[in-house]
Amino acid sequence: MEHHTTILLIEIGALLFGLGMLGRLGRRFGLSPIPLYLLAGLAFGQGGLVQLSASTEFTAVGAQIGVVLLLVMLGLEYSADELVGNLRSAAPAGLIDMLLNALPGAAFALLLGWDWKAALVLAGITWVSSSGVIAKVLGDLGRVGNRETPVILSVLVIEDLAMAFYLPLVTAVLAGLGLAGGLSTLSVAVVTVVAVLVVAIRYGGEISRFISVKDPEALLLSVLGLTLFIAGVAGELKVSEAVGAFLVGIAISGPVAHHATQMLTPLRDLFAAVFFVFFGLSTNPADIPPVLLPALGLAVLTMLTKVLTGYLAARRAGIALPGRIRTGLALMPRGEFSIVIAGLAVAYGVDARLAALATAYVLITVVTGPLLARLPDYTWFREIIRKRMAAQRATQKPLPSTE
């Protein structure tokens, strides 16, 4: 074997083994592996502790595949009917979510003196909560059955669907097509997404029947192949690979979706880890300390706006005060999508500080978010809420008449 190839094997092997160990360590503390992968990436990148040499090309390609797999799995989780039904019922909540969380990000970028492209990117980074991390938190805290959970999920669904329009816009703008070019790819995206939804609702069964469930190997290869192909075509059309993959996931339904999810999950775990490491690799750790304070400020600000979003969305759904607070706190962590967006910006060479800021920002929210989501389960917190509710009730209701 060639020397270069053996070094490649050694580097990748050591990297993956290290990530496995890190993930195990994180699980012990109830920590999502995402921040650990990012930190590992920082440690091995330019200006890090040890520099990887032979495997940079592999991680770059692996990271691309990672994004595609993250998105196709997200699409597989939802059916087209669910997306459309959800859009009807939760559109106002989605709008509140966008206004309250994307605008602060954009404003913050402009305040730092960055250009409007960076502002557009940062808006996306602060807007999207991490569906993966939040789903995990809800499961861990035994809240899947809670009555506010559908509110949380519907906000996440709308965010994910909104990405199908946001990512093409950003890709086009970053590619230097200007706002007009951005809007034209956006309209292409809108047409594509609507077409895919309609086709998936009408003919989802036929598409899925085309792919046989019986042969797991053929299923894996055909679904993975189809996804990568469509993602590539979407990327060529500047609609973004991620959106192409997401749409493939939505179009596949029924038993095929179920089996494909099972087959692709290990692959997704592998390549998503590579993606997070790659993003960490492309960030120079030396860039982080100067942006640490802004990142902290942005994190605090946008975590508060997420709490407000959750509060308002849950109130619309008729959830009581404790549930509203649980909704808000659960929505705080940002994660994979924010990194995907930041990764796009890095690929097109926007301000290097943006990557550093995004890394720090995601690290802060993804670590503190799940911890803060536990707050409503503590007795002292419940006591405070109970007193608040009692006080509210006292002011709302007139004194009972003496009968």
Partner 1 sequence: MEQTPLPGIGVRHDLVTSSGRTVGVVSHRNGRRDLVLYDVDDPDSSLASIPLTDDEAEALADVLGASLMLGQLAGLRQQAAGLLTEQIALPAGSPFVGRRLGDTQARSRTTASIVAVLRDREVIASPGPEFRFEANDVVVTVGTRRGLDGVTAILAGDDDG
Residues that bind partner 1 (CB under 8 A): 77-78, 82-83, 85-86, 131, 135, 142-150, 153-154, 156-157, 258, 319-320, 322-323, 326, 386
Helices (H) and strands (E) in the chain — how many of each? 16, 0
Q: Are 59 and 19 in contact (CB under 8 A)?
A: no
Residue closer to partner 1 by CB (options 144, 233) is: 144
> Min. distance of Cβ 137 from partner 1 in angstroms?
13
Residue closer to partner 1 by CB (options 26, 322) is: 322
Residue closer to partner 1 by CB (options 24, 382) is: 382
> Min. distance of Cβ 125 from partner 1 in angstroms?
22
Helical H runs in 112-147?
A: 116-127, 131-140
C-alpha torsion angle, residues 295, 300, 306, 308 (rounded to 10) = -150
> Min. distance of Cβ 96 from partner 1 in angstroms?
18
Q: How far apart are CA 3 and CA 349, in angstroms?
A: 32
C-alpha 300 chain-centroid distance: 18
The token pair that represents 322 in the structure block? 């404790």
Q: Are 32 and 362 in contact (CB under 8 A)?
A: no
Q: How far apart are CA 319 and CA 283, in angstroms?
A: 42
> Min. distance of Cβ 263 from partner 1 in angstroms?
14
Residue closer to partner 1 by CB (options 80, 119) is: 80
Distances (CA, A) of 200 to 160, 163, 253: 17, 18, 8
Q: Are 335 and 368 in contact (CB under 8 A)?
A: no
Residue closer to partner 1 by CB (options 36, 155) is: 155
> Min. distance of Cβ 259 from partner 1 in angstroms?
11
Q: How far apart are CA 54 and CA 60, in angstroms?
A: 12
Q: How far apart are CA 201 and CA 262, in angstroms?
A: 22
Residue closer to partner 1 by CB (options 142, 349) is: 142
Residue closer to partner 1 by CB (options 135, 220) is: 135
> Min. distance of Cβ 126 from partner 1 in angstroms?
22
Whole-angstrom distance between the N-terminal and C-terminal Cα of the chain?
Answer: 94
Residue closer to partner 1 by CB (options 148, 351) is: 148
> Min. distance of Cβ 261 from partner 1 in angstroms?
8
> Min. distance of Cβ 156 from partner 1 in angstroms?
8
